[in-house]
Chain A
Amino acid sequence: MDFFLEFPELGRHTLAAMRKAIDTSFIHFSREYGAALEAFFYPLLQFMIWFEKLLLSTPWPIILLIIGGLAWFGSRSVKITVGSVIAMALIGIFGMWEDTMATLAIVSVATLLCVVIGIPIGIVMARFERAQSVITPILDVMQTIPSFVYLIPVVMLLGIGKVPGLLAVCIYAIPPIVRLTNLGIRLVDRDVLEAADAFGASPRQKLFSVQVPLALPNIFAGVNQTIMMALSMVVIASMIGVRGLGVPVLKAISNQYLSLGLMNGLAIVALAIIFDRVSQTYGQRLQAYRKGFGDE
Chain B
Amino acid sequence: MSEAKIEIKNLYKVFGDHPSKVIELVQDGISKTDLLEKHGHILGLKDISLKIPNREIQVIMGLSGSGKSTLIRHINRLIEPTAGEIWIDNEDVTAMSQAALRDLRRFKTSMVFQKFALLPHRTVIENVAYGLSMQGVPEAEAHKRAMHWIERVELNGFENNYPGQLSGGMQQRVGLARALATDAEILLMDEAFSALDPLIRTGMQNILLGLQEELHKTIVFITHDLDEALRLGDNIAILRDGEMVQDGSPQDIVMRPADDYVSEFIKDINRGRVIKVGSLADPAASASDGAPIIVADTALETALSTLVAAPGQSCRITKKDGSDLGTLTLERAVAALHAPAG
Residues of A at under 8 Å CB distance from B? 189, 191-192, 194-202, 205, 209-210, 213-214, 216, 289-293
User: Cβ of B117: which chain A residues have Cβ within 8 Å of it?
Assistant: 189, 191-192, 194-195
- From A201, A214, A291, A293, B134 is in contact (CB under 8 Å) with A201
| Closest Cβ neighbor of B104 among chain A residues | A200
Give min CB distance, A107 to chain B, whole Å.
Answer: 29
23 residue pairs A–B, Cβ–Cβ below 8 Å: A189-B120, A191-B113, A191-B115, A192-B118, A195-B117, A195-B119, A198-B78, A198-B111, A199-B111, A199-B130, A199-B182, A200-B106, A200-B131, A200-B135, A202-B102, A209-B130, A214-B119, A216-B121, A289-B120, A289-B162, A290-B164, A292-B165, A293-B165
Give min CB distance, B282 to chain A, whole Å.
Answer: 47
Within 8 A of A (CB), among B166-214: 178, 182, 188
- From A196, A197, A289, B121 is in contact (CB under 8 Å) with A289
Contact call B134/A290, Cβ cutoff below 8 A: no
Q: How far is the CA of A159 from the CA of B103 in the complex (A)?
A: 56
Given contacts A192-B120, A214-B120, A214-B121, contact A200 B102 (CB under 8 A): yes
Q: How far is the CA of A210 from the CA of B103 in the complex (A)?
A: 19
Given contacts A289-B162, A292-B164, contact A199 B134 (CB under 8 A): yes
Within 8 A of A (CB), among B107-148: 107, 109-111, 113, 115-122, 130-131, 133-135
Is B46 interfacial (CB 8 A cutoff)? no
| Closest Cβ neighbor of B188 among chain A residues | A198
User: Cβ of A216: which chain B residues have Cβ within 8 Å of it?
Assistant: 121
Contact call B110/A289, Cβ cutoff below 8 A: no
Q: How far is the CA of A199 from the CA of B164 in the complex (A)?
A: 21
Contact call A194/B78, Cβ cutoff below 8 A: yes
Q: How far is the CA of A201 from the CA of B103 in the complex (A)?
A: 9
Give min CB distance, B168 to chain A, whole Å.
Answer: 13
Is B246 interfacial (CB 8 A cutoff)? no
Is B105 interfacial (CB 8 A cutoff)? yes
- From B119, B120, B121, B134, A200 is in contact (CB under 8 Å) with B134
Contact call A291/B102, Cβ cutoff below 8 A: no
Given contacts A200-B102, A202-B102, A214-B121, contact A195 B111 (CB under 8 A): yes
Number of chain B residues close to chain A: CB under 8 A? 32
| Closest Cβ neighbor of B105 among chain A residues | A200
Q: Beyond the given A197-B78, A291-B164, could you list 6 further A-B residue pairs with CB under 8 A, ordered by the A residue number?
A: A195-B117, A197-B105, A199-B110, A199-B182, A214-B120, A214-B121
Give min CB distance, B25 to chain A, whole Å.
Answer: 29
Q: How far is the CA of A213 from the CA of B127 in the complex (A)?
A: 14
Give min CB distance, A29 to chain B, whole Å.
Answer: 45
Interface string of B70-112 (1 = CB under 8 A from A): 0000001010000000000000000000000011111101110
User: Cβ of A192: which chain B residues have Cβ within 8 Å of it?
Assistant: 117-120
Q: How far is the CA of A291 from the CA of B135 in the complex (A)?
A: 30
| Closest Cβ neighbor of A216 among chain B residues | B121
Q: How far is the CA of A196 from the CA of B109 in the complex (A)?
A: 13
Q: How far is the CA of A290 from the CA of B134 in the complex (A)?
A: 24
- From B106, B120, B178, B182, A290 is in contact (CB under 8 Å) with B120
User: Cβ of A200: which chain B residues have Cβ within 8 Å of it?
Assistant: 102-107, 131, 134-135
User: Cβ of B102: which chain A residues have Cβ within 8 Å of it?
Assistant: 200-202
Contact call B106/A199, Cβ cutoff below 8 A: yes
Give min CB distance, A205 to chain B, whole Å.
Answer: 7
Q: How far is the CA of A290 from the CA of B105 in the complex (A)?
A: 29
Q: How far is the CA of A199 from the CA of B113 in the complex (A)?
A: 12
Q: How far is the CA of A200 from the CA of B165 in the complex (A)?
A: 26
User: Cβ of A201: which chain B residues have Cβ within 8 Å of it?
Assistant: 102, 134
Q: How far is the CA of A201 from the CA of B188 in the complex (A)?
A: 17
Give min CB distance, B255 to chain A, whole Å.
Answer: 36
Given contacts A289-B121, A290-B120, contact A198 B110 (CB under 8 A): yes
Given contacts A205-B134, A289-B162, A290-B164, contact A210 B106 (CB under 8 A): no
Give min CB distance, B40 to chain A, whole Å.
Answer: 22
Give min CB distance, A190 to chain B, whole Å.
Answer: 9
Given contacts A290-B164, A293-B165, contact A199 B121 (CB under 8 A): no
Given contacts A210-B119, A213-B121, A289-B121, contact A198 B164 (CB under 8 A): no
- From A189, A199, A214, B131 is in contact (CB under 8 Å) with A199
